[in-house]
Amino acid sequence: MNKQRITVGTRGSELALVQASAVEAALAAAFPGLTIERRVIRTTGDRRTDVALAEVAQAEGIIDKGVFIKELEVALADGAIDLAVHSLKDLPTVLDAGFKMAAVLERAPVRDVVVRRAGGGLAGLAAGAVAGTSSVRRARQLRWLRPDLLVADIRGNVPTRLAKLAAGEFDAILLAEAGLVRLGHDPARGIEVDGAHLACDVLDETFFFPAAGQGAIGLEIRAGDEHAAAAVAALNHADTWWRVVAEREFLRLLEAGCHTPVGVWTAIDGGTLRMAARVFPESGGEPLTGAVEGAPQEAVALAARLHAAVGGVTTKGGTKA
């Protein structure tokens, strides 16, 4: 990285570009003389929309690599970009040695939203209604809370999914509140798409558990790049950092990936970090749950306590010693 110039790498979806713009604006405010360039990179997850999102990595032979980050990390390693902007829930919990998650922006809302062509929310969906999601976490929670619904895979960016709902391909879809808000939508007012009014039901995170890192924008750099590290450190939001450190450490202990049916939420109130999780066993049955609290700076230890509270399990089967 040139001390007077920084190149930001991002995916090309509308939401990804909004997130990149937020990072660039924060960099410009922190470093008025810095020249900021953007490079848009198409990732495996963007290219492979022909199979379910949870199956993309297997189809591409990149089992242990996030399908929305591989090409961004290649660009980082080659020096084509100096930092990669990620929706943090897409970033694997264990990164290759050459990379580092260096900072996070202040977090947006973490909740999930049920979007419908009519009001009534999740409870108002009729038996047999078709709910679309690409997330195995959302799918498993839906089937657990509403086993009478039909859960179907849906791919595409947020506008594409909203258009499919408006066209009647689904009775409801589930999306992250953060993405809707960043795209300028107000869930309380609903969304107008292709002449259809779509109603939104925001699901409380203590009822419908979000993904680890949901609502957070993560900044990944090359390990050892001191200039990039100094630049993004100026953008780091401390409370968000401790929350996502706890959530990602919990996933690491579970040996869970981006497409594992695990929900986890955190909150910092009055200097206390609260944390709870819902883990769905691969063998089926009721989810394992647990909750802990402590000082934010003890995020890693809190994650270990929460992992013990859910039985010390791993998503690959069995328990850890």
- What number of residues does the chain have? 321
Q: Is 90 a catalytic residue?
A: yes
On whether residue 165 sits in a domain, the answer given is: yes
The DSSP 8-state label assigned to residue 283 in this structure reads T
Say yes or no: 82 and 128 in one domain: no
Per the model's pLDDT, the better-predicted residue between 19 and 55 turns out to be 19
Q: Are residues 98 and 135 in the same domain?
A: no
Backbone torsions φ then ψ of 25, nearest 5 degrees: -65, -40
* Phi then psi dihedrals of residue 137, to 5 deg: -65, -50
**What is the dihedral sign for C-alpha 166, 167, 168, 171?**
negative
- Residue 117 and residue 149 share a domain: yes
Span 62-96, pLDDT tens digits = 444 466 688 899 999 999 999 999 999 888 898 99
Q: What percent of the chain has pLDDT over 90?
A: 76
**pLDDT at residue 62 in the model:** 47
The confidence band for 119, taking pLDDT boundaries of 50, 70 and 90, is confident
Answer yes or no: do 15 and 43 share one domain.
yes
Instruction: Tell me what percent of the chain is helix, strand and coil, each rounded to the nearest 5.
Output: 35, 25, 40
Q: Return mean pLDDT, the chain.
A: 89
Quote the crossing angle between the two packed helices 158-166 and 14-30, to the nearest 10°: 140
Distance CA 188, CA 207 (A): 18
Task: Assess whether 125 and 162 both reside in one domain.
Answer: yes
> Looking at the structure, do residues 26 and 69 belong to the same domain, yes or no?
yes
CATH of the domain at 124: 3.40.190.10
What share of the chain has pLDDT > 70, as a percent? Answer: 88
How large is the average pLDDT for residues 194-207?
95
pTM, whole model, 2 decimals?
0.89
Determine the straight-line distance between the first and last CA of the chain, rounded to whole angstroms: 43
Residue 102 sits in the same domain as residue 228: yes
Catalytic residue among 46, 82, 90, 225: 90
Q: φ and ψ at 306, to 5 degrees?
A: -65, -40
Alpha-helical segments (H) within 234-286? 238-254
- Three-class SS of residue 217? strand
In a domain, 46, yes or no: yes
How much is the pLDDT for 53? Answer: 45
- Together in a domain, 44 and 163: no
Q: Is 128 in the same domain as 191?
A: yes
Q: How far apart are CA 232 and CA 243, in angstroms?
A: 18
Domain count, the chain: 2
- Asked if 198 and 129 sit in the same domain, the reply is yes
57 pLDDT above the threshold of 70? no
- pLDDT above 60 (res 15): yes
**What's the mean pLDDT in 275-282?**
92
Tell me, yes or no, whether 122 lies in a domain: yes
Does one domain contain both 50 and 185? no
Q: Taking residues 113-132, what's their average pLDDT?
A: 94
Residue 46 lies in domain: 5-107+216-236
Residue 319, in any domain of the structure: no
> Residue 25: pLDDT band by 50, 70, 90 thresholds?
very high
